[in-house]
Amino acid sequence: MPANLDILVAHYENEAIQLTAALCGKDAQVLAKELQPDLILLDIMMQDMDAYKVCRRLKSDLNTAGYTGDISYRHGGSKE
């Protein structure tokens, strides 16, 4: 799991929220449809597509068109 995702999970683990993580854009789209979350946080550099592409796909799908994605930037990180 990328370090920035570890930090987010650790930060929110004691909160009264359900947290689900996807490491690639395709999985994020599937989870967004299935779980209909209140918030979607996207890493700018995911394994299979960038966050902008995921946002465009979510907006083009009637089931997820109302979501606003929050895009997280990695500074100095690699795409791995």
- Give 10-40 pLDDT, tens digit per residue: 888 888 887 888 889 999 999 999 998 877 8
The position carrying tokens 């999970």 is 9
Q: Roughly how many angstroms between the first and final C-alpha of the chain, as a whole number?
A: 10
Q: Quick one: what percent of the chain has pLDDT higher than 70?
A: 81
pLDDT of residue 30: 93
Q: Whole-number mean pLDDT of the chain?
A: 80
What are the sequence ranges of the domains in the chain? 3-72
pLDDT of residue 34: 92
Which of 3.30.300.130, 3.90.1300.10, 3.30.1600.10, 3.40.50.2300 is the CATH number of 3-72?
3.40.50.2300
Residue 80 and residue 78: Cα distance in Å, rounded? 5
- Region 38-50 average pLDDT: 83
0.75 surpassed by pTM: no
The whole-angstrom distance between residue 20's C-alpha and the CA centroid of its chain comes to 9
Strand, coil or helix: what is 36? Answer: coil
The tokens for 70 are: 């929050």
Report the interhelical angle of 25-35 vs 51-60 (nearest 10°): 40
